[in-house]
Structures are given as C-alpha cells and as structure tokens.
Structure 1
Amino acid sequence: MTTSTWPPVFDGHNDVVLDLYRPEPGKERDFFTASPHGHLDLPRARAGGFGGGFFAIYVPPPPAPKPLAEPLPEPPYHLPLPPALDHDYALRTTLAMAARLFRVEAESQGQLRVCRTAGEIADCLANNVIAAVFHIEGAEAIGPDLAELEVLYQAGLRSLGPVWSRPNIFGYGVPFAFPASPDTGPGLTEAGKALVKACNRLRILIDLSHLNEAGFWDVARLSDAPLVATHSNAHAICPSSRNLTDRQLAAIRESGGMVGLNFAVTFLRPDGKRDANMPLAVMVQHIQYLVERLGIDHVGFGSDFDGALMPAAIGDVRGLPRLLQALAEAGFTPAELRKLAYENWLRVLRLTWGG
C-alpha cells in the first residue's frame, strides 16, 4: 500500500525542535533535508504521511543535549526526579527554541505553518501543509505572576504541559520508574492551580502527560476544558509511572478529552525494557485498550518522535503507514482510522480552543 492510501496523521507530540536547536554532537541536521539521524524532517514527513502535530519546546538542563541521554537501566528501576531549572535560563532557552520553530516556518516556503486554531490545522491537512502547534513541555519559563504566559500566548502558544518529569513552581512530574504507580507525590501548588485557571481563560490546552496522579486530579477538579494526555499509554498494559490508570482514563472520557499513544518502547512494552525489538501488535493492543476504555472518538497518536526510542517496526516518521496498516488488519475501519489519525485531535482542539 502507498502512503496516499492512508489518512494524514496529526500527532500529539514530537521533540524535533530540541533536536534542531541542540543536536547531539555529530548528528547536526536541518528540517528540510532527509537525515539518517532522528525521526522527523520534512522529506521523511512527506514519505510517512505526517500531516503535523504538537511541536514541543522542552528545555534541557545545561549542558545536557537531550533528556535521558543515557539508557534506562533494566527494570525494575526508579530514577530520582531531575532538579528544577533556573527560571531565567528556562525563559531564554524557551524563547530561542520558539524562534527556531518560527524560523522553520519562515524558511519552509509555505510547507509548514504554525497553527493557532483548529480551522487552520484542518486547512493545512487539506492542502498538504505541515500543521505545527506551538507546545511547551514543562512551564519553567513562566513565573508566578504568569506574565510570560500572556506573551507566549500572543506569540502562538496553544498547548502547555505544566511540568516535565521534574518539579517546578507549579507542581511535580512523575519520575521514570517501572513498575510504578503515577501516584508519586503531592499535587499542584497554588501557583499551579492559578496556571490551570489562566490556561482555561486563554483557552490553552493543558497537557497531563507528565503530571503525577495528584496533579492530574487537581487539573480534573479545576479545569473546564477536556482532559488531554498528548503522549501517554495504558498503565494496565505497561505499568510505567508515565502511563494512565483506568481511573484516569475514565475521567478523560467523561470530560470529552483524549489520549495520544506514545510510541516510546519503555512506555509500550509490558516488561518495560528499553528494547526496540517489539511487534506492532503491542501498539495495536494499547490502541484497542484505550478505545475500549475511552471510546473511538477519544484516542489518537502522540509519537514522541525525536524524544524517545521508537519500536524498530516504526523506525521513524516513515513508519506511520505500517502502524495504520496493522490497525486496519486488526479490524479498524477506514472511518475509525481517520478518527485515530487526525479527526479526534481536531475535535478536542475545537472544544478546547473554540472555533
């Protein structure tokens, strides 16, 4: 089957901006040239039917180039939370990385667009333009008075994860741990609760993927928007601290929200191993479980391209048609595949952003 057989994929999470901004030594690349490094660039996106997604701004700790540069240990493991970041450093780096994303847009000659509405995303998907959502993963660039949030919103920010897997003034992320519950510590701080309210007012999507369970329930109580985990999986299949329990999935369903399937092998494999040799059937199993718990309108993809080890059967963004093929062979209809590929993201973004 050809790529054109399948619907375009709008994806809940990638880290290509970090890879472009601070690549690993010897692996420098640009977005417009096919590269042997990383997972996502424009030529490979075209080959894989990638229609766009959430382009994350993740601030790495200085001077480490990427999170989890060293392989995870064999399970069981429980890594301590990384230390908090300095606000000024985080703000400078966030602005520099956002500028890198906007530079890609400017240099793309109309092939990539930073989108601020669901209608703009739909228009991009219909016209073969990569739709990019400006997303921040970990709100260390934002101070307690939330002034930076207002400015970043005006610059195009439309999605925000209050924490990555480290503490900040807003709350606490989950550590990298297996097997482990996501219930790992206290919930949102008072500043975190104010951040939720401000995101609701501005209609910024709140990403739950790295929050611990107490923080998740704080957002569920406070937020008037659909609950969304952009790149998380089923804890019942892979008991990683990063995955969602059945109770959390029920709350997401009841809110009208959704979950994007994370392709990271350590969050997919039932044994938690950092081993790329795993069948696509494991990814299909997670999708089937999420659909069973949430309903077909509440599940999509959140690959974590350029931020995690991918299954060998996926490889990079060019592997998306193989996943769609596996889902079709498992019984998902063309209409259901369109929902998983992009329609569910458009639905939840219209609910969250309006329009």
Structure 2
Amino acid sequence: MNDKIKKIHDETIVVDAHYDLLMDLTLQKNFNKFNVIKNDHLNNFKKGGLSLIVSSIFIDKPIYKEAYLHETLDQIALFMEEIEKNEEITFCRSYEDILNSKKQNKIGIMLSFEGADPLFDDLHLLKIFYELGVRFIGLTWSRRNYISDGCKFGPVEKDKRSYGITDFGVNFIKKAENLGYIIDISHLSETGFYDFIKINQKPFIVSHTNIRHFTNNTRTLSDEQIKIIKENDGIIGINSYKEFFNEKSKNISAYVDQIEYIINKIGDKNVGIGLDICTHLLKYEPFNEEKISPNIIKDHSEFTKITEEMLKRNYNESTIKNVLGENFINFYKNNL
C-alpha cells in the first residue's frame, strides 16, 4: 500500500457492505476449528485497509423452521465468542460504535440477515434479533420466502413471472423499519422491487449488486432502478462476483467501470462497495480442485486495488472516500 492510498484509507471508514463471514465460523466449527476471524480473516482486513465489515447471516440450503433458527443462533453465538476473545475486533450496533471502532484502530463488524428465511412467518422474532445486535435485514436471497420471491440467477427474461411482496411481507417491512432495521433489497425479485418502493417509509440499501448495462442478469439493476434508489436516498454496493460481469472483462478495471457508471448516472453520493467475496468458502467444495476465486477481488487484502484504479482514473480524494465508505457511513449515521 503506497503512502497516498494509505492516507486515503487512514482518513476514511472503509466499508465492505457484504461478506459471508459468519457462515465460515459455523462451517469451520464442524472441523473443530475456532478463532476463525483472527486466524483466517483479520490480516486480510488489515492489509486491505478495511475499517468495517457487514457480515451476512446466511443459511445456504432451505431447512425446517427450528433448524433455521438453530443455525442462525449458532452463527451469532460463535461470532460473539470470537469478539470476546479478540481485542482487535468490535461488534458494532450503532453509528457511535462504528466511530469508536475506527478511533481505536479496530475492525468493526456488523450483522445482517441475507434473506429473512430464518424468521419464517414470525414477526415477533424481529425484536429478538434486533436485541441480539442484527441491524440489517435482506428481505430475500435468490429464492422464495414468506416475504417475496427472490430473483433467479440468469437472464432477466426468466424473472418476468416472479412474484412480488406478500401481505405478510408488507407487515414485515413496516415492523422492521419501525424497530430500526436497515432494509437491504439485494436478491429481491424485480416485481418485489417495484412493490417495495410503494411500501417503504425509510431509505434502503442494495448492499451487493451490479449494473444491467454490462450484464443481462436478474441480480443487476436497470437504469430506472438506479434512479429510483437515488430518489429514495439509498446506497448501491458494487459486487465483485465474476458472474455479473461481461465474459471478456472480469478484472479490477471492469469492477471500477461499474462504479463509474453509477457516478456518471446519479453522482458519487449513492454508491459504495459490497464485494460478496466467496473465495474463503472454496475449501468446502471438494470437487472444485482448481479453487479458482469466483470474485474479481479474491480476498480483502486486495481491497486497495479499487483505490489504486480510481486514482489512475484521476478521481479526486473526496469521490474516492465516498465510494470506499463515506456514503455508507453517512447512510448509517442517518438511519441506524
């Protein structure tokens, strides 16, 4: 990390708005491995100049209600145990926690549901998980739950028959907003997106997504959706998952192209970073012998490549800082 990049990162609360961290804790527990954040992740966070990670609570395969809840609580419990043992990490529940973590030169971690599936159809659980420190709630993953359809991975045309937000989903959104959750609509179906903007009363985020101008995929945003998100004071986090990039261009330049596209469309106040790095999960795929990373940014030690590429394009420090974290941080300040 050169001096200029270091200065920018030191002066900014640098945010990755989406990372499957807690999932790794429970999977490694199955192999009797603990202290996972310290042993496998912390050095990468430091090398990349990160200040804050928003970790998903994600259950990969659909299971029955009690098992969903058990797995979710197990992820949170393992995380809390690691936090207690490691003075270099802070569990952040508020804007003030984020500021204090940065001042103490620690890595802050926040919790987010990636899909509200573990709550099934029980609104009362929202309060419980808020008390446990969860502050973000992604309405769906890319499958159906009691709230809405998620988007299917694939061409946009295949998603045209997807369903939108249910009556239960309307009540869920209202209660989540009233409790103080930040709602994340990554993975929500397109029908669900347009239902949501008729329901929501507060700004929202799309923590890890991409741009349809570059790739025809349901996990991307159209120009119209980008405009609507700005109108709702939302933030768009750009995903580094290669599947959502043009076949001929899956590199750091292509990644920053998507940031640049948003800046050119709506300015530099509504875009950030949500890398969705999955490289660390390859060790659980025994038949993936090559272990090729599915991400342009393969781990957090490479985060400064984004800063470097933006400097090459002569972006000023203010815009770079906005993208690296200040947009998300200002959003958290106003909405947590």
Matched residue, 1:270:
246
State the partner residue of 1:339: 322
Change (3 A) 1:168 1:303: same
**Mapped pair 1:298 → 2:270:** yes
- Aligned AA for 1:164? W
Query: Sequence identity of aligned pairs in percent?
Result: 24
Which 5+ residue runs of structure 2 have no aligned equivalent? Answer: 282-292
Report how far residue 214 of structure 1 moved.
1.2
Is the helix fraction higher in 1 or 2? 2
| Equivalent of 1:243 in 220, 237, 246 | 220
Matched to 1:49, the amino acid is G
1:79 maps to none
Alignment CA distance shift 1:283-1:194 (3 Å): same
> In structure 1, what is the Cα distance between the partners aligned to 2:159 and 2:206?
13
Q: Distance in 2 between matches of 1:310 and 1:125?
A: 30
Distance 2:179 2:31 in 1: 41
Instruction: Read off the aligned partner of 1:155 and give its amino acid letter.
Output: L
> Which residue of 2 is the match for residue 75 of structure 1?
none
Give the whole-Å Cα distance in 2 for the aligned partners of 1:98 and 1:137. Answer: 13
Matched residue, 2:14: 9
Task: Please give the alpha-carbon distance, in whole angstroms, between the structure 2 residues aligned to 1:174 and 1:123.
Answer: 37
TM-score w.r.t. the length of structure 2 is 0.88
Seen in structure 2, the aligned counterparts of structure 1 residues 352 and 141 have a Cα distance that, compared at 3 Å, is same
Q: Give the structure 2 partner of residue 319 of structure 1.
A: 302
Could you tell me which residue of structure 1 aligns to residue 75 of structure 2?
97
Distance 2:309 2:7 in 1: 13
Q: Report if the CA contact (8 A) 2:277-2:298 is conserved.
A: no
Q: What CA RMSD, in Å, does the superposition of the two structures yield over aligned residues?
A: 2.2
Does the CA-based 8 Å contact 1:91-1:140 persist in structure 2? Answer: no
Shift of residue 202, structure 1, vs aligned partner: 0.9
Distance 1:26 1:85, change over 3 A: closer
Counterpart in 1 of 2:131? 154
How do residues 109-128 of structure 1 correspond to structure 2 at under 5 angstroms?
109=87, 111-128=88-105
Whether 1:202 and 2:179 are equivalent positions in the alignment is: yes
Q: Hey, what's the Cα distance between the residues in 1 that align with 2:308 and 2:158?
A: 32
- Count of aligned pairs: 318
Tell me how far apart the structure 2 counterparts of residues 24 and 234 of structure 1 sit (CA, whole Å). 36
Partner of residue 44, structure 2: 44
Q: Could you tell me which amino acid in structure 1 is paired with residue 320 of structure 2?
A: L
- Give the CA deviation at 1:198: 0.7
Q: Is the 8 A contact 1:115 1:121 kept in 2?
A: yes
1:124–1:247 distance in 2 versus 1, CA, 3 Å: same
CA distance in 2, matches of 1:316, 1:331: 25
Evaluate the alpha carbon distance shift between residue 135 and residue 333 of structure 1 in structure 2; reply closer, same or farther with a 3 A threshold: same
CA distance in 2, matches of 1:14, 1:220: 25
Q: Equivalents in 2 of 1:304, 1:177: separation in Å?
A: 18
Deviation at 1:88, TM superposition (A): 1.5
Q: Indicate whether 1:106 and 2:84 are aligned.
A: yes
Conserved? CA contact 1:6–1:49, under 8 Å:
no
1:65 matched to which residue of 2? none
CA separation of 1:279/1:305 partners in 2, compared to 1, >3 Å: closer, same or farther? closer
**CA distance in 2 between partners of 1:86 and 1:175 (Å):** 22
Structure 2 Cα separation of the partners of residues 177 and 124 of structure 1: 39
Task: State the Cα distance separating 1:25 from its structure 2 match.
Answer: 8.8
Pick one of 247, 253, 264 that aligns with 2:230. 253
Distance apart, 1:169 and its partner CA: 1.1
Distance 1:331 1:53, change over 3 A: same
Q: Distance between the aligned counterparts of 1:87 and 1:164, measured in 2?
A: 16
Cα distance, 1:260 vs structure 2: 0.5
Q: Aligned-pair distance for 1:180? A: 4.7
